[in-house]
Homo-oligomer: A and B are copies of this chain.
C-alpha cells in the first residue's frame, strides 16, 4: 500500500528532467528512433539512451526494434492531457506574475510570502 506512492513517484521522477520531457514531447507526435531523438536533445547518444531507458522502466514509453534501429513511442497516453494542463497552468501563472509586476508589487517577496 506504501508501494503505491513509490510507483507513482517513479513515473513523475522519470518525467522530471528537461531532456526527458523534451523526448516525451517529441513522442507525442509518434514513434522516433534514438538517432532522431539524439538530434533533438543536444547530448551524447549514450546520455539520450539512458534517459530513454529511465522513461521505459517507468512505463512512460515503449520501444521496439526495427532493423538496426530502436523506435521509442509513448505508452502512457494520459501524459498527453496532463502536459496540456500543466502548460495551461504555467501560462496562467506567467500571466498572474506579469499582472503583479505591472501593479508594482515587490518582485522578490511576491510568491514566497504568505498572503495576509
Closest residue of chain B to A8 (Cβ to Cβ) is B21
**A18 located at the interface, meaning its Cβ lies under 8 Å from any Cβ of chain B in the complex:** yes
* A 48-65 binary contact with B (CB < 8 Å = 1; else 0): 000000000001000111
List the number of copies, as a whole number. 2
A98 near B: Cβ within 8 Å?
no
A110 located at the interface, meaning its Cβ lies under 8 Å from any Cβ of chain B in the complex: no
Evaluate whether A16 and B25 lie within 8 angstroms (CB atoms) in the complex, with A65-B116, A89-B76, A116-B65 already known. Answer: no
What's the minimum C-beta distance from A78 to chain B, rounded to whole angstroms? 4
A-side residues, CB < 8 A to B, are: 4-22, 25, 59, 63-65, 70, 76, 78, 81-83, 85-87, 89-90, 93, 114-116
